[in-house]
Amino acid sequence: MKNKKGIQWLLVLLVMIAIGYTGYSAYDQAQERKALEAEQEKMKKEREATEKKQERQGMDSSDEMVPKEPDAIPAPAFSASNLSGQKVDLASYKGQKVVLNFWASWCPPCKAEVPHLVKYKNEKAAEQNTEIVAVNLTFQDDGIDSIQSFVKEYGMNFPVLLDEKGDIAPQYSIMTIPTTFILNEEGIIEHQITGPVTDDILTELIDEIDSPVKK
């Protein structure tokens, strides 16, 4: 009889241990799930914050635009194909000032900037003896069709060159787009602008190049 009761107690104990282990495992899994969900939520918020920052860049260029004035650095030489497949050499623009703009079709600040480039081209470029040359980061973009559609949609009426292999952007240390360089008639970099630029800022900076006394 005593042996029978002992066996019963042993079975009860084993059942309690099993229930306890199951409960602990469920609790442990729940904690792991909560930690994973918290990490996913953190990553989501960081991604949303980055997207909002990009949108703000597009809406308010003055917040992110950082003009720099390099010390008489010649613009690195390159040649690239345009959308018609013709090779164009940067040196062919010598004798004109050049607004050299690096961009991509998926970039929100680039989309906000393009109307200013078009406006500058239409209203001031000829007067200031300036050409806009837009270098597309084709190696990071969504294909030629997307680029051509973007150019047509935004009315980009200036040369668009394709950095197809990613060998032009590194020469200019491009880390952020849009990034714009303003070259004088001799191909020397006078200004570097990180972030979207406006037509008024372009006019002002190019006026400084033409002025005998730099501001």
Q: How far is CA 165 from the centre of its chain?
A: 17
Is residue 82 domain-shared with residue 150, that is, in the same domain?
yes
pTM above 0.75, yes or no: no
Q: Please tell me the least confidently modeled range out of 44-58, 148-162, 173-187, 200-214.
A: 44-58
d(CA 49, CA 55): 10
Is residue 51 domain-shared with residue 67, that is, in the same domain?
no
**Does 214 score more than 60 pLDDT?**
no
185-213 residues labelled b (16+ CB within 10 A) or e (exposed): eebebbbbbbbbbbbebbbebbeebeeee
pLDDT for position 211: 77
pLDDT for position 203: 98
Could you give the percent of the chain with pLDDT greater than 70?
65
Q: Please tell me the least confidently modeled range out of 24-28, 131-135, 162-166, 177-181.
A: 24-28
Mean pLDDT of all residues belonging to the chain? 82
- Mapped onto helix, strand or coil, the DSSP state of residue 177 is coil
Is residue 47 domain-shared with residue 83, that is, in the same domain?
no
Q: At what angle do helices 108-123 and 2-59 cross, to 10 degrees?
A: 0
Tell me the two tokens of residue 119.
């406006």
Read off the pLDDT of residues 111-157 as tens digits, 9 standing for 90 and up: 999 999 999 999 999 999 999 999 999 999 999 999 999 999 999 99
pLDDT for position 30: 60
Is residue 94 domain-shared with residue 177, that is, in the same domain?
yes
Is residue 12 domain-shared with residue 105, that is, in the same domain?
no
**Does 16 score more than 50 pLDDT?**
yes
Is residue 119 domain-shared with residue 18, that is, in the same domain?
no
Read off the pLDDT of residues 20-58 as tens digits, 9 standing for 90 and up: 555 555 555 666 556 555 655 654 555 555 555 555 444
Q: pLDDT: is 211 or 159 the higher one?
A: 159
Is residue 71 domain-shared with residue 15, that is, in the same domain?
no
Domain boundary, last residue among 28, 59, 90: 59
pLDDT for position 144: 96
How confident is residue 62, by pLDDT bands cut at 50, 70 and 90? Answer: very low
d(CA 213, CA 201): 18
pLDDT for position 70: 54
Range(s) of the domain holding residue 138: 63-210
Tell me the two tokens of residue 190.
């006078």
pLDDT, mean of residues 74-83? 98
Is residue 97 domain-shared with residue 172, that is, in the same domain?
yes
Instruction: Give the CATH number, domain containing residue 94.
Output: 3.40.30.10
